[in-house]
Structure 1
Amino acid sequence: MHRRRRTAFLLTAALTAAAPLLTACGSDAHPGAAAVVGDDRITVSQLENRVNEVRSAQRAATTGEAQYEQAISKSGGLTRDTLHGMVLDRVLHRAADDADVSVTRKEIQQARTGLEQQAGGAKALEVSWLQQYGVPPERLDDNLRVQIEAQKLAAALGTDTSQPAFWKALSDASKKLDVDLNPRYGSWDVEKSSRVDAKLPWVRDITVAASQKPA
Structure 2
Amino acid sequence: MHRRRRTALVLSAAIVAAAPLLTACGNDAHPGAAAVVGGHRITVAQLQSRVDEVRRAQRAAVADETQYQQAVAGTGTLTRDTLHQMVLDRVLDRAARDAGVTVTAREVQAMRAGLEQQAGGPEGLRRAWLQQYGVPPQRLDDNLRLQVEAQKLAAKLHTDPSQPAFWKALSTASGELHIDLNPRYGAWDVQKGNAEAKTPWLRETSAGAQRAA
If the TM-score is normalised by the length of the shorter chain, which range does it land in? 0.7 to 0.9
Specify the alignment match of 1:177 in structure 2. 177
Matching residue of 2:158 = 158
Aligned partner of 1:202 in structure 2 is none
Q: Which residue of 2 is the match for residue 122 of structure 1?
A: 122
Q: Which runs of 5+ in 2 are unaligned?
A: 17-27, 194-213
Q: CA deviation at 1:30?
A: 3.2
Structure 1 residues not aligned, in runs of 5+: 17-27, 198-215
The equivalent residue for 1:91 is 91
Name the counterpart of 1:148.
148
Cα separation, 2, equivalents of 1:13 and 1:132: 16
SS in 1 for 2:188: strand
Does structure 2 retain, via aligned residues, the 8 Å contact 1:13–1:133?
no
Given residue 106 of structure 1, which amino acid in structure 2 is its aligned partner? R
The 3 A distance-change label for structure 1 pair 90 and 11 is farther
Distance 1:142 1:11, change over 3 A: farther
Q: 1:184 to 1:33 in 2, by over 3 A?
A: same
Question: Which SS does the other structure have where 1:103 is aligned?
Answer: coil
Q: In the alignment, what sits opposite 2:57?
A: 57
- 2:31 match: 31
- Paired residues of 1:188 and 1:195 also in contact (CA < 8 A): no
For 1:102, the aligned partner's letter is T
- From the superposition, tell whether residues 14 and 71 of structure 1 become closer, same or farther in structure 2 (CA, over 3 Å): farther
Check 1:146–1:88 CA distance in 2 against 1; reply closer, same or farther (3 A cut): same
The Cα RMSD (Å) is: 2.2
Q: What displacement does 1:5 show?
A: 2.7
The residue number in structure 2 matching 1:106 is 106
State how far apart, in whole Å, the 2-side matches of 1:10 and 1:157 are. Answer: 16
- Partners of 1:12 and 1:133 within 8 A in 2: no
Partner of 1:212: none
Greater strand share, 1 or 2?
Answer: 1
Q: For residues 13 and 185 of structure 1, do their structure 2 counterparts lie closer, same or farther at Cα, with a shift above 3 Å needed?
A: farther
**1:4 Cα deviation (Å)?**
4.5
Residue 184 to residue 14, structure 1, CA distance change in 2 (3 Å): farther
- Between the aligned residues of both structures, percent identity stands at 70
Q: Cα–Cα, structure 1 residues 11 and 67, in superposed 2: closer, same or farther, change >3 Å?
A: farther
Does the 8 Å CA contact 1:7/1:161 hold for their aligned counterparts? no
Scaled by the length of structure 2, the TM-score of the pair is: 0.78
User: 1:162 Cα deviation (Å)?
Assistant: 2.2
Larger Rg belongs to: 1
The alpha carbon displacement at 1:115 in A equals 1.0
Report if aligned partners of 2:38, 2:179 keep a CA contact under 8 Å in 1: yes
Higher relative contact order (CA 8 A, sep 6+): 2
Map 1:5-44 onto structure 2 (within 5 A). Answer: 5=5, 7-9=7-9, 30-44=30-44
Q: 1:54 to 1:15 in 2, by over 3 A?
A: farther
Question: Which residue matches 2:25?
Answer: none
Structure 2 CA distance for partners of 1:14 and 1:165, relative to 1, 3 Å: closer
